[in-house]
Copies of this chain bind each other. A is one copy, B any other.
């Protein structure tokens, strides 16, 4: 078995795809899956291997297109209001009835007066074939109904059946086998121990394959043992059109994929110039089964499958690959991108001020929620260094534009109450989304100023006045007509380990030598509160050990304390309680929603304002503890 080198290369995507396809062709991989005949009703979603030529006409006979009477058109000539024609020779027909032999037109029921002696009185002539559906009006026998390579939709199977197709020839669905690898990987449904990771990638990749029209299954999890991975790969390849090996695709000590693929067949590519996804393995197993070695980071796994597997699977079925609609959006902030790699950036989209705005989501390959929360994908090609803030960019859509237009975009500080509002709004109206990006209070106000969001959640303390948010609104948004609506009052304090083992009593204890504090990011209101409290005591921030360590949400701070990675961090009671931690109150602060004044009358936001007045919603918040809804919904400016 050859062993790959210690570093992965950076082959451009198109080149990598071509090299993979060439290796597959050389190894005798079939270009298309085989052909099978399926009953026409079961052909929905399948790709035609042969065209459907009509063998029957539809309709197969001339028929009445209206309810009325069948007549001979020639016998109606001259009929008019003043010169009605009386017909004894006619036949009553309903829509769809075959035309009785000898008749060539239909007079609508509404235009016929039946006389007492059983004749039909007409007051207008009709041309031949009036209201007659001709044979073959829909489909003429022998014409091409559907070309090979067409994926059958409901209307297609109906039309094919009408044209006489009984069991059209379709390509066999490609079969994908996913092999999860890794000593630390445990099946979904089990409780992972310390250092263990759930095999969420397998269920995702299997679902992606099925969504693409394939059959798919995952094998048992294989440990980091090249022999066992090789055996699993060979076994899977025997019955698959594509094998996906998860994880181990890089070049670390436990990364065996490249070596295993080289040993079991041909290693075509190890490393592609795409981020996330870079350490990808593309190869082919002896006997002719393509193999994709996907990185273990979930975003890399998902995108790698999309970039490399989906086009291959579509080609195997002889079909056009899925195509996503796209739109133009204004980029909310500067986006840097490394030259030399295609950069797949997940973005949130919202319609703000009449324009679609794209806000980049976290770009880490491990941040699966960036894909979950994404409304679109922005691909920055290898040759482009990035984009300026405000630039118009092309975005592939993951959600429909109408849904995006019904999304309230919140940028600013994070609070659980926003999550609860998002959930309540969606439950009441499946079309309504409240999407929040957590960038801190200051970032939210700037985003509001720049027209990038509908509302900014803020709890910014002004150290000079001791007032919250309003001084910043004056300073930053002075020339805008804005309204400020109180969301909630909440307790802020020190989140500490259960039992408060260090016996922290307040801000004064944060300068203790050896203490590991965890801070919030610059611009966060909670950080401003700490700075205010430190300043009031004349304490230099650098005296707090860990001041430079930043987390972006209350929950991340609590998680750090819960994990024993930090001794204390400032945050809200709800976050402490969620992790079973202790809490040392420091202050009660108002958390406000800042909006442009016209947002108060914007139909999009109306359900949010109504929710703030809903006693059930308020009750739910206060039940969390650490919150007061006494002023919820009050306009404070």
Chain A positions near chain B (C-beta within 8 angstroms) = 7, 39-41, 44, 51, 57-62, 65, 67, 92, 94-98, 109-110, 127-129, 133-150, 153-159, 161-162, 166, 182, 184, 188-189, 192, 194-195, 197-198, 200-201, 203-208, 210-211, 247, 250-255, 296, 298, 302, 314-315, 318-320, 323-325, 364, 366-369, 371-372, 397, 400-403, 416, 419-420, 422-423, 426-427, 430-431, 433, 548-549, 551, 553, 555-556, 558-560, 563, 565, 574-575, 578-579
Contacts of A433 in B (CB 8 A): 147
Partner of A41, one of B51, B138, B203: B203
Contact of A578 with B141 in the complex, beta carbons under 8 Å:
yes
The 6 listed contacts between A and B (C-beta, < 8 Å) are: A95-B296, A138-B364, A139-B369, A142-B579, A157-B203, A161-B203
Contact of A162 with B368 in the complex, beta carbons under 8 Å:
yes
A30 CB to closest chain B CB, in angstroms? 16
Give A565 to B105 CA distance when docked, in angstroms.
Answer: 13
Give A560 to B62 CA distance when docked, in angstroms.
Answer: 9
Contacts of A96 in B (CB 8 A): 182, 184, 197, 247, 296
Query: Given A204-B158, A426-B147, do A578 and B39 touch, yes or no (CB 8 Å)?
Result: no
Give A251 to B95 CA distance when docked, in angstroms.
Answer: 10
Contact of A194 with B427 in the complex, beta carbons under 8 Å:
no
Give A253 to B68 CA distance when docked, in angstroms.
Answer: 10
Partner of A147, one of B39, B44, B129, B422: B422
Contacts of A40 in B (CB 8 A): 188-189, 203
Contacts of A575 in B (CB 8 A): 142
Contact of A366 with B59 in the complex, beta carbons under 8 Å:
yes
Contacts of A555 in B (CB 8 A): 136, 140-143
Give A620 to B143 CA distance when docked, in angstroms.
Answer: 15
- Given A158-B368, A161-B200, A162-B298, 5 more pairs with CB closer than 8 A: A44-B211, A94-B253, A128-B548, A142-B416, A142-B578
Contact of A145 with B560 in the complex, beta carbons under 8 Å:
no
Contacts of A144 in B (CB 8 A): 419-420, 422-423
For A548, the closest partner residue in chain B by CB is: B128
For A132, the closest partner residue in chain B by CB is: B565
A181 CB to closest chain B CB, in angstroms? 12
Give A298 to B298 CA distance when docked, in angstroms.
Answer: 44
Partner of A137, one of B211, B366, B423: B366
Query: Given A140-B556, A149-B426, A154-B302, do A368 and B159 touch, yes or no (CB 8 Å)?
Result: yes
Partner of A194, one of B98, B155, B184, B579: B98
Contacts of A127 in B (CB 8 A): 548
Contact of B207 with A188 in the complex, beta carbons under 8 Å:
no
